[in-house]
A and B are shown apart, each in its own frame.
Chain A
Protein backbone atom coordinates (compact mmCIF):
# COMPACT_ATOMS: atom_id res chain seq x y z
CA UNK A 1 0.00 0.00 0.00
CA UNK A 2 1.33 3.43 -0.94
CA UNK A 3 1.69 5.91 1.92
CA UNK A 4 1.42 9.62 1.27
CA UNK A 5 2.46 12.66 3.28
CA UNK A 6 -0.18 15.39 3.20
CA UNK A 7 -0.07 18.98 4.44
CA UNK A 8 -3.43 20.68 4.79
CA UNK A 9 -5.51 22.99 6.97
CA UNK A 10 -8.23 21.65 9.25
CA UNK A 11 -10.52 24.11 11.03
CA UNK A 12 -7.95 26.84 10.51
CA UNK A 13 -4.98 24.91 11.92
CA UNK A 14 -2.11 23.59 9.79
CA UNK A 15 -2.18 19.79 9.88
CA UNK A 16 0.18 17.13 8.52
CA UNK A 17 -0.65 13.47 8.25
CA UNK A 18 0.44 10.21 6.66
CA UNK A 19 -2.21 8.11 4.96
CA UNK A 20 -2.68 5.25 2.56
CA UNK A 21 -3.62 6.54 -0.87
CA UNK A 22 -6.80 4.42 -0.74
CA UNK A 23 -8.03 6.10 2.45
CA UNK A 24 -10.87 8.55 2.04
CA UNK A 25 -10.78 11.96 3.66
CA UNK A 26 -13.41 10.60 6.06
CA UNK A 27 -11.10 7.70 7.03
CA UNK A 28 -8.27 10.17 7.59
CA UNK A 29 -10.34 12.56 9.69
CA UNK A 30 -11.69 9.78 11.88
CA UNK A 31 -8.84 7.27 12.06
CA UNK A 32 -5.68 9.38 11.66
CA UNK A 33 -6.70 12.78 13.06
CA UNK A 34 -9.22 11.37 15.57
CA UNK A 35 -11.85 13.91 14.55
CA UNK A 36 -14.76 11.52 14.88
CA UNK A 37 -17.57 14.06 14.60
CA UNK A 38 -17.98 13.37 10.87
CA UNK A 39 -19.86 10.07 10.55
CA UNK A 40 -19.94 7.28 8.00
CA UNK A 41 -23.55 6.45 7.22
CA UNK A 42 -23.23 4.93 3.77
CA UNK A 43 -19.75 5.53 2.26
CA UNK A 44 -21.43 6.16 -1.09
CA UNK A 45 -22.43 9.83 -1.11
CA UNK A 46 -26.08 9.22 -0.32
CA UNK A 47 -26.54 10.16 3.35
CA UNK A 48 -24.47 13.31 4.01
CA UNK A 49 -23.39 12.21 7.52
CA UNK A 50 -19.77 12.83 6.44
CA UNK A 51 -20.40 16.40 5.19
CA UNK A 52 -17.40 18.73 5.43
CA UNK A 53 -16.53 22.03 3.79
CA UNK A 54 -13.49 22.07 1.48
CA UNK A 55 -12.34 25.49 0.27
CA UNK A 56 -15.81 26.84 1.02
CA UNK A 57 -17.69 24.02 -0.77
CA UNK A 58 -19.87 21.46 0.94
CA UNK A 59 -18.72 17.93 -0.01
CA UNK A 60 -18.95 14.34 1.19
CA UNK A 61 -15.71 13.36 2.93
CA UNK A 62 -16.43 9.74 1.98
CA UNK A 63 -16.14 10.62 -1.73
CA UNK A 64 -12.77 12.33 -1.51
CA UNK A 65 -9.36 10.74 -1.02
CA UNK A 66 -7.30 11.89 1.96
CA UNK A 67 -4.42 12.71 -0.41
CA UNK A 68 -6.67 15.12 -2.29
CA UNK A 69 -6.67 17.36 0.81
CA UNK A 70 -3.10 18.50 0.04
CA UNK A 71 -2.99 22.30 0.16
CA UNK A 72 -6.72 22.74 0.73
CA UNK A 73 -8.69 24.09 3.68
CA UNK A 74 -11.10 21.74 5.44
CA UNK A 75 -13.82 22.64 7.92
CA UNK A 76 -15.46 19.95 10.04
CA UNK A 77 -18.08 19.88 12.77
CA UNK A 78 -15.26 20.12 15.34
CA UNK A 79 -14.60 23.69 14.18
CA UNK A 80 -18.19 24.85 14.49
CA UNK A 81 -18.50 25.88 18.14
CA UNK A 82 -16.23 28.71 19.31
CA UNK A 83 -14.69 27.07 22.40
CA UNK A 84 -17.57 26.58 24.84
CA UNK A 85 -19.89 28.78 22.83
CA UNK A 86 -22.16 26.77 20.57
CA UNK A 87 -22.88 28.01 17.06
CA UNK A 88 -26.48 29.36 16.79
CA UNK A 89 -27.37 26.37 14.59
CA UNK A 90 -26.25 24.00 17.34
CA UNK A 91 -28.28 25.88 19.94
CA UNK A 92 -31.38 25.86 17.73
CA UNK A 93 -31.02 22.14 16.99
CA UNK A 94 -31.11 21.55 20.77
CA UNK A 95 -34.03 23.95 21.31
CA UNK A 96 -36.11 22.42 18.52
CA UNK A 97 -35.18 18.82 19.43
CA UNK A 98 -33.90 18.46 15.89
CA UNK A 99 -31.94 15.32 16.77
CA UNK A 100 -32.56 11.93 18.29
CA UNK A 101 -29.79 9.37 17.81
CA UNK A 102 -27.52 12.16 16.53
CA UNK A 103 -25.68 10.24 13.82
CA UNK A 104 -26.90 12.56 11.07
CA UNK A 105 -26.53 15.73 13.17
CA UNK A 106 -22.92 16.76 12.44
CA UNK A 107 -23.60 16.44 8.71
CA UNK A 108 -26.80 18.47 8.93
CA UNK A 109 -25.08 21.18 10.97
CA UNK A 110 -22.13 21.51 8.58
CA UNK A 111 -24.47 21.50 5.57
CA UNK A 112 -26.78 24.09 7.15
CA UNK A 113 -23.81 26.28 8.06
CA UNK A 114 -22.63 26.28 4.46
CA UNK A 115 -26.15 27.23 3.32
CA UNK A 116 -26.41 30.18 5.71
CA UNK A 117 -22.97 31.41 4.70
CA UNK A 118 -24.24 31.72 1.13
CA UNK A 119 -27.85 32.57 1.78
CA UNK A 120 -28.59 34.15 5.17
CA UNK A 121 -32.34 34.30 4.46
CA UNK A 122 -33.37 31.02 2.80
CA UNK A 123 -36.97 29.99 2.21
CA UNK A 124 -38.20 26.70 3.60
CA UNK A 125 -38.03 25.22 0.09
CA UNK A 126 -34.44 26.36 -0.30
CA UNK A 127 -33.54 24.76 3.03
CA UNK A 128 -35.20 21.49 2.03
CA UNK A 129 -33.44 21.35 -1.36
CA UNK A 130 -30.05 22.30 0.09
CA UNK A 131 -30.35 19.55 2.70
CA UNK A 132 -31.73 16.90 0.31
CA UNK A 133 -28.40 15.06 0.46
CA UNK A 134 -28.58 14.68 4.24
CA UNK A 135 -30.65 11.77 5.47
CA UNK A 136 -32.14 11.36 8.95
CA UNK A 137 -33.81 8.12 10.05
CA UNK A 138 -35.20 9.55 13.29
CA UNK A 139 -36.61 13.06 13.27
CA UNK A 140 -38.77 13.28 10.17
CA UNK A 141 -36.88 16.43 8.99
CA UNK A 142 -39.48 18.98 10.06
CA UNK A 143 -37.75 19.92 13.28
CA UNK A 144 -34.43 20.15 11.48
CA UNK A 145 -35.83 22.51 8.86
CA UNK A 146 -37.47 24.66 11.54
CA UNK A 147 -34.25 24.80 13.56
CA UNK A 148 -32.31 25.98 10.49
CA UNK A 149 -34.89 28.68 9.66
CA UNK A 150 -34.92 29.83 13.27
CA UNK A 151 -31.11 29.96 13.47
CA UNK A 152 -31.03 31.92 10.21
CA UNK A 153 -33.43 34.46 11.66
CA UNK A 154 -31.41 34.79 14.85
CA UNK A 155 -28.16 35.18 12.91
CA UNK A 156 -29.75 37.96 10.85
CA UNK A 157 -30.32 39.73 14.13
CA UNK A 158 -34.08 39.19 14.30
Chain B
Protein backbone atom coordinates (compact mmCIF):
# COMPACT_ATOMS: atom_id res chain seq x y z
CA UNK B 1 0.00 0.00 0.00
CA UNK B 2 1.39 3.35 -1.06
CA UNK B 3 0.80 6.19 1.43
CA UNK B 4 0.91 9.84 0.35
CA UNK B 5 0.25 13.00 2.32
CA UNK B 6 0.09 15.83 -0.24
CA UNK B 7 0.10 19.44 0.93
CA UNK B 8 -2.13 20.94 -1.74
CA UNK B 9 -5.52 20.22 -3.26
CA UNK B 10 -3.94 20.01 -6.71
CA UNK B 11 -1.36 17.45 -5.60
CA UNK B 12 -4.09 15.34 -4.00
CA UNK B 13 -6.17 15.42 -7.19
CA UNK B 14 -3.11 14.42 -9.24
CA UNK B 15 -2.50 11.44 -6.98
CA UNK B 16 -6.15 10.40 -6.97
CA UNK B 17 -6.61 10.74 -10.73
CA UNK B 18 -3.14 9.88 -12.02
CA UNK B 19 -3.18 6.64 -14.02
CA UNK B 20 -1.87 4.54 -11.07
CA UNK B 21 -3.94 2.46 -8.68
CA UNK B 22 -7.27 3.87 -7.57
CA UNK B 23 -6.67 5.80 -4.37
CA UNK B 24 -8.61 6.03 -1.14
CA UNK B 25 -8.88 9.31 0.71
CA UNK B 26 -7.80 9.17 4.37
CA UNK B 27 -9.11 11.77 6.81
CA UNK B 28 -9.42 10.72 10.49
CA UNK B 29 -9.28 7.03 9.61
CA UNK B 30 -11.91 6.05 12.19
CA UNK B 31 -13.90 4.23 9.51
CA UNK B 32 -11.07 3.53 7.06
CA UNK B 33 -8.66 1.89 9.51
CA UNK B 34 -11.38 -0.41 10.83
CA UNK B 35 -12.17 -1.48 7.25
CA UNK B 36 -8.47 -1.90 6.39
CA UNK B 37 -7.92 -4.03 9.45
CA UNK B 38 -10.95 -6.19 8.73
CA UNK B 39 -9.78 -6.68 5.14
CA UNK B 40 -13.03 -5.16 3.83
CA UNK B 41 -10.93 -2.83 1.67
CA UNK B 42 -7.40 -3.39 0.31
CA UNK B 43 -6.40 -0.08 -1.29
CA UNK B 44 -3.10 0.13 -3.17
CA UNK B 45 -2.92 3.88 -2.58
CA UNK B 46 -4.03 5.94 0.42
CA UNK B 47 -4.08 9.74 0.11
CA UNK B 48 -4.04 11.45 3.51
CA UNK B 49 -5.68 14.89 3.17
CA UNK B 50 -4.76 16.14 6.65
CA UNK B 51 -1.74 18.13 5.44
CA UNK B 52 -3.89 20.18 3.06
CA UNK B 53 -4.65 23.52 4.69
CA UNK B 54 -8.09 24.01 3.09
CA UNK B 55 -9.20 20.61 4.44
CA UNK B 56 -8.00 21.29 7.95
CA UNK B 57 -9.20 24.80 8.77
CA UNK B 58 -12.45 26.47 9.82
CA UNK B 59 -12.87 29.95 8.37
CA UNK B 60 -15.43 32.59 7.58
CA UNK B 61 -15.73 33.85 4.01
CA UNK B 62 -18.18 36.74 3.49
CA UNK B 63 -20.17 35.62 6.52
CA UNK B 64 -20.27 32.00 5.31
CA UNK B 65 -18.74 29.29 7.49
CA UNK B 66 -16.31 27.06 5.61
CA UNK B 67 -15.34 23.87 7.45
CA UNK B 68 -12.49 21.77 6.10
CA UNK B 69 -13.52 18.20 5.29
CA UNK B 70 -10.87 16.79 7.66
CA UNK B 71 -11.57 19.11 10.62
CA UNK B 72 -12.26 16.89 13.64
CA UNK B 73 -15.37 16.76 15.79
CA UNK B 74 -13.35 18.01 18.77
CA UNK B 75 -12.05 21.01 16.81
CA UNK B 76 -15.53 21.90 15.58
CA UNK B 77 -16.92 21.61 19.10
CA UNK B 78 -14.29 24.01 20.42
CA UNK B 79 -15.03 26.62 17.73
CA UNK B 80 -17.31 29.17 19.42
CA UNK B 81 -18.31 30.89 16.17
CA UNK B 82 -19.23 27.61 14.44
CA UNK B 83 -21.29 26.62 17.46
CA UNK B 84 -23.22 29.88 17.54
CA UNK B 85 -23.85 29.89 13.77
CA UNK B 86 -24.79 26.22 13.31
CA UNK B 87 -25.41 24.64 16.74
CA UNK B 88 -27.19 21.62 15.23
CA UNK B 89 -24.34 20.75 12.87
CA UNK B 90 -21.81 21.09 15.69
CA UNK B 91 -23.87 18.99 18.11
CA UNK B 92 -24.19 16.26 15.48
CA UNK B 93 -20.41 16.17 15.02
CA UNK B 94 -19.86 16.06 18.78
CA UNK B 95 -22.08 12.98 19.04
CA UNK B 96 -19.65 10.86 17.02
CA UNK B 97 -17.99 8.20 19.16
CA UNK B 98 -15.82 8.73 22.22
CA UNK B 99 -13.27 11.38 23.18
CA UNK B 100 -10.66 9.37 21.25
CA UNK B 101 -12.84 9.19 18.12
CA UNK B 102 -13.65 12.92 18.44
CA UNK B 103 -9.93 13.62 18.17
CA UNK B 104 -9.91 12.26 14.60
CA UNK B 105 -13.41 11.86 13.09
CA UNK B 106 -14.30 14.37 10.36
CA UNK B 107 -17.40 15.61 8.54
CA UNK B 108 -15.96 14.49 5.19
CA UNK B 109 -15.32 10.98 6.47
CA UNK B 110 -18.75 10.76 8.08
CA UNK B 111 -20.41 11.71 4.79
CA UNK B 112 -18.16 9.66 2.48
CA UNK B 113 -18.34 6.49 4.53
CA UNK B 114 -21.91 6.66 3.22
CA UNK B 115 -23.70 5.03 6.14
CA UNK B 116 -27.42 5.86 6.26
CA UNK B 117 -26.98 6.32 10.04
CA UNK B 118 -24.08 8.83 9.89
CA UNK B 119 -24.86 11.45 12.52
CA UNK B 120 -23.65 14.64 10.86
CA UNK B 121 -25.36 14.07 7.53
CA UNK B 122 -28.99 14.86 8.51
CA UNK B 123 -27.73 18.02 10.26
CA UNK B 124 -25.68 19.06 7.21
CA UNK B 125 -28.59 18.36 4.84
CA UNK B 126 -31.02 20.31 7.05
CA UNK B 127 -28.49 23.18 7.07
CA UNK B 128 -28.39 23.07 3.24
CA UNK B 129 -24.63 22.63 3.41
CA UNK B 130 -22.71 22.32 0.14
CA UNK B 131 -19.49 20.42 -0.52
CA UNK B 132 -16.54 21.93 -2.32
CA UNK B 133 -15.45 19.01 -4.46
CA UNK B 134 -12.05 19.09 -6.15
CA UNK B 135 -11.30 16.90 -9.15
CA UNK B 136 -9.45 16.66 -12.43
CA UNK B 137 -11.82 19.23 -13.95
CA UNK B 138 -11.41 21.76 -11.15
CA UNK B 139 -13.76 22.62 -8.31
CA UNK B 140 -17.51 22.10 -8.21
CA UNK B 141 -20.19 22.58 -5.58
CA UNK B 142 -22.42 19.68 -4.60
CA UNK B 143 -25.31 19.78 -2.09
CA UNK B 144 -24.62 17.30 0.73
CA UNK B 145 -27.84 15.36 -0.03
CA UNK B 146 -26.52 14.56 -3.53
CA UNK B 147 -23.25 12.93 -2.41
CA UNK B 148 -24.48 9.51 -1.21
CA UNK B 149 -26.50 7.38 -3.61
CA UNK B 150 -26.85 4.28 -1.42
CA UNK B 151 -25.13 2.54 1.49
CA UNK B 152 -21.38 2.81 0.75
CA UNK B 153 -22.11 4.45 -2.65
CA UNK B 154 -21.02 7.97 -3.65
CA UNK B 155 -21.77 10.17 -6.64
CA UNK B 156 -18.19 11.54 -6.63
CA UNK B 157 -16.27 10.87 -9.85
CA UNK B 158 -12.78 9.43 -10.37
CA UNK B 159 -10.12 11.55 -8.71
CA UNK B 160 -12.63 13.69 -6.83
CA UNK B 161 -12.65 14.41 -3.12
CA UNK B 162 -14.39 16.82 -0.75
CA UNK B 163 -12.13 19.69 0.28
CA UNK B 164 -14.53 21.56 2.58
CA UNK B 165 -18.16 22.22 3.49
CA UNK B 166 -19.88 25.57 2.99
CA UNK B 167 -22.52 26.64 5.50
CA UNK B 168 -24.28 29.89 4.61
CA UNK B 169 -24.65 32.63 7.21
CA UNK B 170 -27.97 31.83 8.89
CA UNK B 171 -30.55 34.61 8.35
CA UNK B 172 -31.77 36.43 11.52
CA UNK B 173 -34.21 34.32 13.53
CA UNK B 174 -32.83 31.01 12.22
CA UNK B 175 -31.38 28.00 13.98
CA UNK B 176 -30.83 24.27 13.61
CA UNK B 177 -30.83 21.22 15.88
CA UNK B 178 -29.97 17.53 15.62
CA UNK B 179 -31.15 14.60 17.75
CA UNK B 180 -30.51 10.90 17.45
CA UNK B 181 -31.93 7.93 19.26
CA UNK B 182 -29.60 5.22 20.57
CA UNK B 183 -30.34 2.66 23.30
CA UNK B 184 -27.46 3.96 25.48
CA UNK B 185 -26.05 7.43 26.19
CA UNK B 186 -22.74 7.17 24.25
CA UNK B 187 -20.90 5.11 21.64
CA UNK B 188 -23.65 3.61 19.50
CA UNK B 189 -25.07 3.82 15.98
CA UNK B 190 -28.21 5.88 15.50
CA UNK B 191 -31.49 3.94 15.30
CA UNK B 192 -32.96 7.17 13.91
CA UNK B 193 -31.51 10.67 13.52
CA UNK B 194 -33.35 13.93 12.79
CA UNK B 195 -31.98 17.33 11.80
CA UNK B 196 -34.18 20.44 11.60
CA UNK B 197 -33.24 23.92 10.44
CA UNK B 198 -35.83 26.68 10.48
CA UNK B 199 -36.35 30.44 10.27
CA UNK B 200 -38.93 32.49 12.18
CA UNK B 201 -39.99 36.05 11.34
CA UNK B 202 -40.47 38.75 13.98
CA UNK B 203 -44.00 37.58 14.78
CA UNK B 204 -42.77 34.00 15.30
CA UNK B 205 -44.12 32.66 12.01
CA UNK B 206 -41.99 30.06 10.26
CA UNK B 207 -40.70 31.32 6.92
CA UNK B 208 -38.49 28.38 5.94
CA UNK B 209 -37.81 24.88 7.28
CA UNK B 210 -35.76 21.85 6.28
CA UNK B 211 -36.15 18.47 7.94
CA UNK B 212 -33.65 15.65 7.24
CA UNK B 213 -33.74 12.10 8.57
CA UNK B 214 -31.06 9.47 9.16
CA UNK B 215 -31.30 5.66 9.34
CA UNK B 216 -34.82 5.48 7.91
CA UNK B 217 -33.84 4.91 4.24
CA UNK B 218 -30.80 3.69 2.22
CA UNK B 219 -29.41 7.25 2.41
CA UNK B 220 -30.12 10.25 4.60
CA UNK B 221 -33.27 11.89 3.22
CA UNK B 222 -34.51 15.44 2.98
CA UNK B 223 -38.22 15.28 3.88
CA UNK B 224 -39.37 18.29 1.87
CA UNK B 225 -43.07 17.93 2.75
CA UNK B 226 -42.17 17.86 6.43
CA UNK B 227 -40.39 21.21 6.17
CA UNK B 228 -43.26 22.61 4.08
CA UNK B 229 -45.76 21.62 6.80
CA UNK B 230 -44.11 24.07 9.19
CA UNK B 231 -43.79 27.03 6.80
CA UNK B 232 -46.45 29.71 7.40
CA UNK B 233 -47.31 28.34 10.86
CA UNK B 234 -46.21 29.28 14.35
CA UNK B 235 -44.89 25.73 14.82
CA UNK B 236 -47.89 25.03 17.06
CA UNK B 237 -49.16 21.55 17.89
CA UNK B 238 -51.27 21.16 14.76
CA UNK B 239 -48.36 22.21 12.53
CA UNK B 240 -46.14 19.73 14.34
CA UNK B 241 -48.71 16.99 13.76
CA UNK B 242 -48.74 17.74 10.05
CA UNK B 243 -44.93 17.72 10.04
CA UNK B 244 -44.87 14.34 11.82
CA UNK B 245 -47.29 12.86 9.29
CA UNK B 246 -45.01 14.01 6.46
CA UNK B 247 -41.93 12.63 8.24
CA UNK B 248 -43.56 9.23 8.69
CA UNK B 249 -44.69 9.19 5.07
CA UNK B 250 -41.11 9.83 3.94
CA UNK B 251 -39.58 6.96 5.98
CA UNK B 252 -38.58 3.77 4.14
CA UNK B 253 -36.65 1.98 6.90
CA UNK B 254 -35.54 -1.63 7.27
CA UNK B 255 -36.01 -4.01 10.17
CA UNK B 256 -32.74 -4.86 11.91
CA UNK B 257 -31.39 -5.65 15.36
CA UNK B 258 -31.53 -1.96 16.29
CA UNK B 259 -35.20 -1.54 15.58
CA UNK B 260 -38.12 -2.57 13.40
CA UNK B 261 -39.29 -0.47 10.47
CA UNK B 262 -42.48 0.38 12.36
CA UNK B 263 -40.53 1.50 15.43
CA UNK B 264 -38.10 3.61 13.40
CA UNK B 265 -40.97 5.34 11.60
CA UNK B 266 -42.62 6.18 14.90
CA UNK B 267 -39.39 7.42 16.53
CA UNK B 268 -38.54 9.54 13.46
CA UNK B 269 -41.68 11.60 14.07
CA UNK B 270 -40.94 12.00 17.76
CA UNK B 271 -37.34 13.07 17.18
CA UNK B 272 -38.26 15.47 14.37
CA UNK B 273 -40.79 17.16 16.67
CA UNK B 274 -38.28 17.51 19.49
CA UNK B 275 -35.55 18.77 17.17
CA UNK B 276 -37.99 21.30 15.64
CA UNK B 277 -38.88 22.57 19.12
CA UNK B 278 -35.22 22.99 20.03
CA UNK B 279 -34.50 24.74 16.71
CA UNK B 280 -37.48 27.07 17.22
CA UNK B 281 -36.36 27.96 20.74
CA UNK B 282 -32.85 28.68 19.48
CA UNK B 283 -34.23 30.71 16.58
CA UNK B 284 -36.22 32.92 18.98
CA UNK B 285 -33.13 33.40 21.14
CA UNK B 286 -31.09 34.26 18.03
CA UNK B 287 -33.33 37.28 17.33
Contacts and interface: CB of A to CB of B under 8 A. Distances in A.
A, B in one complex: yes
Interface of A: 1-2, 4, 21-22, 24, 43-46, 48, 51, 54, 57-60, 62-65, 67-68, 70, 111, 114-115, 129-134
A44 B37 contact: yes
Contacts of A63: 28-30, 33-34, 100-101, 104
Interface string B93-110: 000011111011000000
Nearest to A63: B33
B202 to A, nearest CB: 39
A59 B103 contact: yes
Nearest to A20: B1
Contacts of B228: none
B263 interface: no
Interface residues of B, number: 28
Given A2-B2, A133-B98, A62 B103 contact: no
Interface in B171-212: 185-187
A57 B30 contact: no
Contacts of B97: 45, 133
Given A21-B2, A24-B33, A63-B34, A45 B101 contact: yes
Contact of B5 (A24, A70, A134): A70
Contact of A111 (B26, B72, B99): B99
Contacts of B46: 21, 65
Contacts, number: 89
A2 B4 CA distance: 12
Given A65-B29, A133-B99, 15 more contacts: A2-B2, A21-B46, A24-B33, A44-B38, A45-B100, A48-B98, A48-B100, A57-B104, A63-B30, A63-B33, A64-B104, A129-B186, A132-B185, A133-B98, A133-B186
Contacts of B5: 67-68, 70
B256 to A, nearest CB: 19
A91 B28 CA distance: 34
16 contacts: A2-B3, A22-B36, A24-B33, A43-B37, A57-B103, A60-B104, A62-B37, A63-B100, A65-B33, A68-B29, A68-B50, A111-B99, A111-B100, A129-B186, A132-B186, A133-B98
Nearest to A67: B3
Most buried by B among A44, A46, A51, A60: A60
A98 B97 CA distance: 24
B98 A21 contact: no
Contact of A59 (B34, B100, B185): B100
Interface string B59-87: 00000000000001010000000000000
Contact of B99 (A21, A58, A62): A58
Contacts of B119: none
A129 to B, nearest CB: 7
Contacts of B2: 2, 21
A48 B187 CA distance: 12
B30 A68 contact: no
Nearest to A131: B99
B101 A60 contact: yes
